[in-house]
Amino acid sequence: MYFNWGAQHSYIYGNGDNINLVLDKSAGSGVQSHRAFLFGSIEMLIKLVPGNSAGTVTAYYLSSTGDYHNEIDFEFLGNSSGQPYTMHTNIFTQGKGNREQQFKLWFDPTTDFHNYTIHWNPTAVVWYVDSIPIRVFRNYRSEGIGYPDEQGMQVYSSLWNADNWATRGGLVKIDWTRAPFMAGLRRFNARACKWNGPVSVFQCALPTPGNWWTSPVYKQLNWDQQGKMKWVRDNYMIYDYCTDYKRFNWKMAPECYKPQY
């Protein structure tokens, strides 16, 4: 990865395995992968901004470019001291998003590094936190529902000022007396198919031993994984676009009526 903005006040340390993203009044900071990928497993260990992080957002996501881009998101919305972070997830297909699901975390994400993984193959996208699946978005392209299977995506992470919306809808602003704010990244690991242009759409989806993400074991969560995901969603999920009937005027996205896991 390399810094794509804010490098002047952020830093890499520990044999290049660790990055501290920094936000102060002058700017935030961000990194991105040199390569783009199509399918596989994208992992990062992240330690979020401690203390009063209200108004800050730490983002970790995959994205292509252009008006019809694909994107798979983790975003961590800071909060006032003592309040839990909100973990925000979303997925864009061919430029269309509005598929937010939000969770409170069941641990303090600021005291240690935790594993956040996006696992993505021709069957489904799965978001994991410390190996626990929290969300699945299945491929229903054959039924006219968009799916991110035709564009390579680079990996990005950033720490930025979002106090116009991040905490209580923008009511709570950043307390700049607590700056600089820091988030730690460690051991970025892309066990994924490298994007080499349109030929990769075919090559990365081939069910071969080298394309381990196409193995049948990754087509469906096992019973243990489903049980853990149900526990998270029953106890820690605080928003699901599929149940926000007022926002969408009862015209819900078609995938909301499909089994996802």
Are 145 and 254 in contact by the 8 Å Cβ rule? The answer is yes
Q: Give pLDDT, residue 36.
A: 98
CB-based contact 154:162 (threshold 8 Å): no
Give the amino acid at 12. Answer: I
Question: What residue ranges in the chain does DSSP mark as E strands?
Answer: 2-5, 11-13, 18-23, 29-47, 56-63, 71-77, 86-92, 101-104, 114-120, 124-129, 132-138, 153-161, 181-194, 237-240
**Tokens at 141, concatenated:** 């392209």
DSSP, residue by residue, 157-192: EEEEE-TTTTTGGGTSPP-GGGPPEEEEEEEEEEEE
Strand partners, 59: 75, 158
What's residue 117's pLDDT?
Answer: 98
Catalytic annotation, residues = 71, 75
Minimal CA–CA distance to 90: which of 134, 31, 56?
134
Produce one character per residue of 13-36: b if its CB has 16 or more CB atoms within 10 Å, e if not. Answer: eeeeebbbbbbeeebbbbbbbeeb
The predicted structure's pLDDT at residue 47: 98
Indicate the burial class of 61 (C-beta count within 10 angstroms; 0-12, 13-18, 19 or more): buried
Supply the pLDDT for residue 140.
98
- Gap between the Cα atoms of 17 and 13, Å rounded: 7
Q: Give the pLDDT confidence score for residue 158 in this predicted structure.
A: 97
- Residue 156 is predicted with a pLDDT of 98
CA distance linking residue 234 with residue 250, whole number of Å: 23
Question: pLDDT means per 10 residues in the chain (261 residues)?
Answer: 91 88 95 97 97 94 96 94 89 97 96 98 98 98 97 97 81 91 96 97 97 96 98 98 98 96 87
Task: Tell me if 102 sits within 8 A of 89, measured CB to CB.
Answer: yes
pTM summary value: 0.96
Which tens digits make up the pLDDT trace of 225-249?
Answer: 999 999 999 999 999 999 999 999 9
pLDDT at 164 (0 to 100) = 85
